[in-house]
Amino acid sequence: MTSTDRDADLAAAGLDGQNRTALGRLLGTGSIGHAEKGSDGIMRATVRIPEDELIWEPSILVFPEGGEVELTLINDDKNTHCAVLPHNGDPKIIWLVNHSKGTARLSLSGPGTYYYGSTTGNDEGRGLTGALVFGGEVPDQAKQDRPPQPRP
């Protein structure tokens, strides 16, 4: 994917400027993917670690709203990696030996940006960091009891 493609994706996803969710430019490389909501209400997406690249592909996943997520992770690299994933409550961890595939079930009810990465061997700092970006509104039970605030 060229940077021009990525810029177009950022614009199409509304992540290229001030918005109510996140700025896609926070992550400098990689591409954008969109989760699909199944008839069972679960949003599904797949990320992959290509061989020798130390990135999640796509590195930004956009979800229409908070909810139940089924994330499939594929490690096509020659090394073992892991993913420490956000989840309401405690994070979840999945180990991915080389050339393996795993599925994580996550509950993420709030809109906003959640980061995840492979925390072994500083792979996170070297590029293996991804973002899950959720649109939508804060659930009613999580809203503070105060007057509506101006938002961009």
Position of tokens 């809203």?
143
Nearer Cβ to Cu ion (38/50): 50
Nearer Cβ to Cu ion (118/129): 118
Give the pairing of strands 67-75 and 43-49: parallel
> Is residue 118 near Cu ion by the rule CB under 5 A?
yes
* Closest separation in Å from C-beta 90 to Cu ion: 20
- Which candidate, 137, 5, 111, 120, places its Cα nearest to that of 58? 5
Does residue 101 contact residue 74 with C-beta atoms inside 8 Å?
Answer: yes
Pick from 94, 123, 130, 132 the residue near Cu ion by CB under 5 A: 123
- Which candidate, 147, 148, 116, places its Cα nearest to that of 131? 116
Position of tokens 């892991």?
82
* Closest separation in Å from C-beta 31 to Cu ion: 20
* Closest separation in Å from C-beta 71 to Cu ion: 16
* Closest separation in Å from C-beta 88 to Cu ion: 25
> Is residue 81 near Cu ion by the rule CB under 5 A?
yes
Mark the segment that binds Cu ion (CB under 5 A) among 6-14, 36-44, 110-118, 129-137.
110-118
Give the DSSP H/E element, type plus range, for residue 9.
helix 3-12
Question: Footprint of Cu ion on this chain (CB under 5 A)?
Answer: 81, 118, 120, 123
